[in-house]
Structure 1
Amino acid sequence: MIPILFEDAEALVINKPGGLPVEQPRAGGPSLDAQFPSLRLGFQREPVAVHRLDTDTSGCLLLARNPKALTRFSRAFEERQVSKLYYGVLAGVPEQTEGTVALSLSKISSAEAGWRMIPAKKGKPAVTHWQLIEVQAGLALVAFRPETGRTHQIRVHAASGIGIPLLGDPVYGAGPKGPDGARIKRTMLHAAGLRIEREGKEPVIAHAILPADMRALGFAEPAGGFAEPDVADQAADSED
């Protein structure tokens, strides 16, 4: 059963496992949406994902429980009323302890390598604020607060902006091999916090603790958790 982090008549926020795609891949196999019937929880309709997380990314995923809620939540993303906090493990230690990456992003593709996002002056504006949390064995746990929400934003901004890719990233990093030669099963990125403002109602607030595979690298749950983020997300695209 998928852990539920927040529930009311409009919304569910679930803790998505890393490595599980939200939608079923073309080649088939397990997917999160196959479990949506079990998340009705007495409601007539299955919940619908409002935004996207990459297959490897774990953590907070917002589901709408009815069409009106889906419209309102989608609008909240568009109007910058959603804030997100991510934790990622960098495959190295940055020289600075905090900063802001502002690199516009554009999508490219080729028959040989498939598609990916690259920094490009004529791309869509993308801004990510980051802060170093902890260092363990040559790896760094970093908090990311995306100000925009472009596809693969955090992954590209880590690799091309900070200059160190996320551990395990097969596209923008060294892939599944860790610094000690151990196999890394996924890109180490976790959607730790989500806050959505709602007119006339209390905001949706959810926090997903640091997953076991990140803790196994020696990192502890950061103090304070997810409280009042000061940077709002801009779009409903996947930013990881």
Structure 2
Amino acid sequence: MKAEELQARVLHRDGLMLIIDKPAGLPCHAGPKGGSNLEALFDGLRFGLPKPPALAHRLDRDTSGCLVLGRHRKALAKLGRLFSSGGIDKTYWAIVSGGPVEESGRIDKPLSKLNKKSGWKMVVDPDGQPSQTDFRVLGRAGDVNGGMTWLELKPLTGRTHQLRVHCASMGWPILGDPVYGPVPGETGGMPLHLHARAISVPLYPSRDAISVTAEPPAHMLKALRACGYAG
């Protein structure tokens, strides 16, 4: 991706914050081995300021949608407090295999990080960090055993891979998940069907929260439409 392409994905801009529509498949920052990443393009998002913006939070490499950047140090500190206190409302869309019987509910399962020689993953652990996710069914294709379900997910906490682990632990993994799917490491080439659909940031005390939505990525549209999405 070029800087100009990332500029075209800016959903909101003011003096403190940018919200961009992160593309799926591009990590937020460079890993141990380097490689392409969003941060390498942030110089093109200065929009007149002396320094580029920085990440106020992160999305997984394969997750698309609303990503918040702070435009300078004080803005990042303010956004950091909002994220850590749970003051920012985040809404995700996911397509899962099967689905819940209920139309809505809450997943309340503590999570911890499991380290192995082959890598790490997050797991449900009674002694782990408290983790809660609210879910709501937006549409279905087929039944809960053999079909798929379009879910709205609202994380009440911000654990790593929280939505992916919570859905998988309930027996309805997110489509295309190579780590927590039905067969780890095998997705049949299907990308992850998880999208940060909307975010609401109460950045200014005397104003309404800044609310932004991101259109779902192209790779999710077929499944979304099968579940009743009209976009």
Q: CA deviation at 1:175?
A: 5.0
Which of 12, 23, 26 in structure 1 is aligned with 2:29?
Answer: 23
Q: CA deviation at 1:80?
A: 2.0
Which of 167, 188, 192 in structure 1 is aligned with 2:193?
Answer: 188
Task: Label 1:175 to 1:108 Cα distance change in 2 as closer, same or farther (>3 A).
Answer: closer
In the alignment, is residue 143 of structure 1 matched against residue 149 of structure 2?
no
Range moving further from structure 2, 39-48 or 50-59: 39-48
Superposed CA deviations along residues 16-35 of structure 1, whole A, max 9, x for unmatched, are 00110000122232111111
Q: Which amino acid aligns with 1:28?
A: G
Task: Label 1:57 to 1:129 Cα distance change in 2 as closer, same or farther (>3 A).
Answer: same
In the alignment, is residue 117 of structure 1 matched against residue 117 of structure 2?
no
Asked which structure has the greater RCO (Cα within 8 Å, sep 6+), the reply is 1
Q: Structure 2: any 5+ residue segments left out of the alignment?
A: none
Quote the Cα distance in structure 1 between the aligned partners of 2:84 and 2:97: 32
Superposed CA deviations along residues 90-121 of structure 1, whole A, max 9, x for unmatched, are 02233222211000001111103x10111111
Q: Which amino acid aligns with 1:151?
A: T
Partner of 2:74: 68
Range moving further from structure 2, 201-210 or 60-69: 201-210
- Percent same amino acid at aligned positions? 37
Superposed CA deviations along residues 191-223 of structure 1, whole A, max 9, x for unmatched, are 011111122344222110121111122427958
Are the equivalent residues in 1 in contact too, given 2:139–2:228 (CA < 8 A)?
no
Which of 79, 82, 88 in structure 1 is aligned with 2:88?
Answer: 82
Superposed CA deviations along residues 27-75 of structure 1, whole A, max 9, x for unmatched, are 2321111110111112211000100100000000000001111000101
Partner of 2:171: 163
So what's the TM-score if we normalise by structure 2? 0.88
After TM superposition, which residue ranges in structure 1, 4 or more long, deviate above 6 angstroms? none
So what's the TM-score if we normalise by structure 1? 0.85
In the alignment, is residue 56 of structure 1 matched against residue 62 of structure 2?
yes
In the alignment, is residue 34 of structure 1 matched against residue 43 of structure 2?
no
Q: Structure 1: any 5+ residue segments left out of the alignment?
A: 226-240
Partner of 1:153: 162
Quote the Cα distance in structure 2 between the aligned partners of 1:105 and 1:66: 32
Q: CA RMSD in A?
A: 2.0
In the alignment, is residue 4 of structure 1 matched against residue 13 of structure 2?
no
**How many residues of Structure 1 are paired with residues of Structure 2 in the alignment?**
218
Quote the Cα distance in structure 1 between the aligned partners of 2:158 and 2:219: 25
